[in-house]
Amino acid sequence: MAKRICWLYRLETVSYDIVWRWQQNLLHLRRQNPDLPDALLLVEHPPVYTLGQGADESFLKFTPNAHMPPVVRIERGGEVTYHCPGQLVGYPILNLRRHRPDLHWYLRQLEEVVIRTVSAFEIDGERSDGLTGVWVEGRKVAAIGIKASRWITMHGFALNICPDLSGFQHIVPCGIADKAVGSLSEFQQGLDRLQVQPVLEKQFAQVFQCELVPQDLCTLPSSLS
């Protein structure tokens, strides 16, 4: 049986708004044509706070202003989180009808990708009962928030490799006040994206039983016209 194909877009540091639009367009095209391959975008963002569609703004500890990173409300589930350089963000655009049309299963698979990835660096990642994400020694190193339309996914996961964590001090991350945020570099010094991303790509391909096929960035849909 041939493996499913998943187009892989390896991005550098790109603003959140641009990648958000790419996700929306990739999802829209797959709603129009479900036979299009799945896609995975891997990227870093400049500092930005994002809130899920039903997120409580009281979890922001500041009033948005020009001196702080932008705050963007988006269509994923979950509360507020923070993106910044040193964090590897993954946006899978998957047709779950090809995999398993079950969002709880999908969330657990994303966690599994991260757990297997950090294990390759002798770091023990764990789940926390009743919560979504991955923890190491009680510190949350990966946040996950998704959206699905007709079983086609967008948004995804953010893995803290070596970011400046101070931006998390201005929010209640994911609405969880009693659990700290951490990064892989706290447990394995010197880790960076160049080391971690190839491992994560391999684990993603194994967990979702697909072949990642790198794509030219010019093939990303900038509009739906």
Beta sheet of 48-51, edge-to-edge order: 71-73, 48-51, 81-83
> What does the angle CA 91 – CA 165 – CA 200 come to, to the nearest 5 degrees?
35
- Map residue 183 onto helix, strand or coil: coil
Closest CA to 217 of 58, 55, 20, 41: 41
Q: Say how far apart CA 23 and CA 50 lie, in whole Å.
A: 15
DSSP secondary structure string, 96-115?
A: GGGS-S-HHHHHHHHHHHHH
Residue with tokens 């194994």, as numbered in its chain = 206
- Map residue 20 onto helix, strand or coil: helix
106 φ, ψ (degrees, to nearest 5)? -60, -45
Indicate which residues carry an active-site annotation: 174
Closest CA to 94 of 42, 12, 13, 30: 30
Q: Please state, as a whole number, how many other Cβ atoms lie within 10 Å of the Cβ of residue 100.
A: 12
In angstroms and rounded to an integer, the radius of gyration of the C-alpha atoms of the chain is: 17
